[in-house]
Structure 1
Amino acid sequence: MRIKQSEFEISAVKREQYPVDGLPEVAFVGRSNVGKSSIINALANRRHLAKVSQTPGKTRLINFFMINEGEFHLVDLPGYGYAKVSKTEQASWGKTIEMYLTDREELKRVILLVDSRHKPTKDDLIMHDWVKHFDIEAIVVATKSDKLSNNELRKSEKIIKDTMGLTKDDKFYFFSSLNKKGKDELINYLFEGLVEEENEIE
């Protein structure tokens, strides 16, 4: 699959603000500072499609991007786990994410981003459980892999899979937005079949 075109469509907080065109959606979620905006920009081959915030944890909007002029939406969910915001604000983001995950028929897949350099956090585990609870396909992508050697990557993969309870049937991938190694393969891995799947449903 090729991402030939991408553009920002709308930011939303409430359900009534979500797009109503029925296109399949792939959502990206992860902790603040995990590199969510960077991977979205790298995959879409657009430098400033998703804005990289200078203040982690600031954005609580859900951003929808149109891919390939109406094939599907890429969805950027608010970052979580930033310690310097209030508990009330953190709870608000949690509700925003949960509201989107609940009964969103267009949502076909969630890409959960974790930092390849660190053991997944409690928040990462909660988010993974959340996605599974709503019976949504989840793919775990470990970002910033350029920071690790091949030996460190093998250790990281074991730590991440063991901590999150991933099995051989669960999908897992490393990626670096800096060197973009394996970008085309990752695009196929994350998005292949979405349009065909939607056509079969129709």
Structure 2
Amino acid sequence: MENQTLNFHKVHFVTSAPDIRHLPDDDGVEVAFAGRSNAGKSSALNALTGQRQLARTSKTPGRTQLINLFELEPGKRLVDLPGYGYAQVPEEMKRKWQASLSEYLQKRESLKGLVLLMDIRHPLKDTDTQLLEWATANGIKVLALLTKCDKFNPGPRKTIVQQVRRQVAEFGGDVQVEAFSSLKGIGVELVSQVLSRWYLEHEDAAAQDDELVDPV
């Protein structure tokens, strides 16, 4: 069980919702992908699942306006959250997206893990930092991916990863920082392994809880 890796290629689209009231029942385990609108979030989801069109990619960042939900197995879901921090969208629209993102993060009980995507050239912007602070304060596990790492040779790439690891250590909590490139496939297998572990840990915990409440 410990080394089991789920088949993320089986994932399928469930729904798009403007807010949590339009999402399916709040049970099971959800792992959400979040990041700035130009961080490569959709490309990362497509690379993980092996489905080129699972999450829409665009040359114009900021097009992901809804909470997009995908199911891996019953009770195991991936969530593509609205991108944040992109300047070239109307202010009113930006506020609406931000409200939807905040509501999901604060109220969705099935959220158990967060994949935070940051461009390796511009990591830990203010909103990224706020999201990390919130996640660690609320006991949410975080896998921080430094995307587009193929733009650096291995030496400089490793230096940046180590620097970001030192910075996020100040937040405490369960935060893992890794290099990632959807273009070159760097880090894709690692993401699959980490997320599989998250899902299966909660599956085991739920099974143990069921045993405790069963009558003797």
TM-score (norm 2): 0.84
Instruction: Deviation per CA, 1:139-196: give whole Å up to 9, x if none.
Output: 2111111111112112211442344446696311111101113422321123314134
Q: Which has the larger radius of gyration?
A: 2
- The equivalent of 1:50 in structure 2 is 55
Instruction: Deviation per CA, 1:104-131: give whole Å up to 9, x if none.
Output: 1111100111111224211211222232
Deviates more, 1:176-185 or 1:165-174: 165-174
* Aligned-CA RMSD value: 2.1
What is the rounded CA distance, in whole Å, between the counterparts of 1:170 and 1:130 in structure 2?
A: 12
Provide structure 1 residue ranges, at least 5 long, that are not aligned to the other structure: none
What SS is found at the alignment partner of 1:192? helix
Give, in angstroms, the shift of residue 15 of structure 1.
Answer: 2.1
Contact map agreement 2:67 2:81 (CA 8 A) in 1: yes
Taking every aligned residue pair, what percent have the same amino acid on both sides?
36
Please point out which of 29, 34, 39 is paired with 2:34: 29
Say if 2:54 is the partner of 1:12: no
Say if 2:174 is the partner of 1:147: no
Please point out which of 119, 137, 142 is paired with 2:141: 137
- The equivalent of 1:123 in structure 2 is 127
Please point out which of 157, 172, 175 is paired with 2:161: 157
Deviates more, 1:158-167 or 1:49-58: 158-167
Provide structure 2 residue ranges, at least 5 long, that are not aligned to the other structure: 211-216
Give, in angstroms, the shift of residue 60 of structure 1.
Answer: 1.9
Contact map agreement 1:145 1:153 (CA 8 A) in 2: yes
Give, in angstroms, the shift of residue 47 of structure 1.
Answer: 0.8
Give, in angstroms, the shift of residue 55 of structure 1.
Answer: 2.4
What SS is found at the alignment partner of 2:8? coil
What is the rounded CA distance, in whole Å, between the counterparts of 2:172 and 2:25 in structure 1?
A: 35
- The equivalent of 1:76 in structure 2 is 80
> Which letter maps to 1:183?
V
What is the rounded CA distance, in whole Å, between the counterparts of 1:133 and 1:168 in structure 2?
A: 7
User: CA, structure 1 residues 168+74, in 2 after alignment: closer, same or farther (shift >3 Å)?
Assistant: closer
- The equivalent of 1:175 in structure 2 is 180
What is the rounded CA distance, in whole Å, between the counterparts of 2:126 and 2:201 in structure 1?
A: 36
Contact map agreement 1:144 1:177 (CA 8 A) in 2: yes
The structure in which a higher percent of residues are helix is 2
- The equivalent of 2:213 in structure 1 is none
Deviates more, 1:40-49 or 1:85-94: 85-94
TM-score (norm 1): 0.89
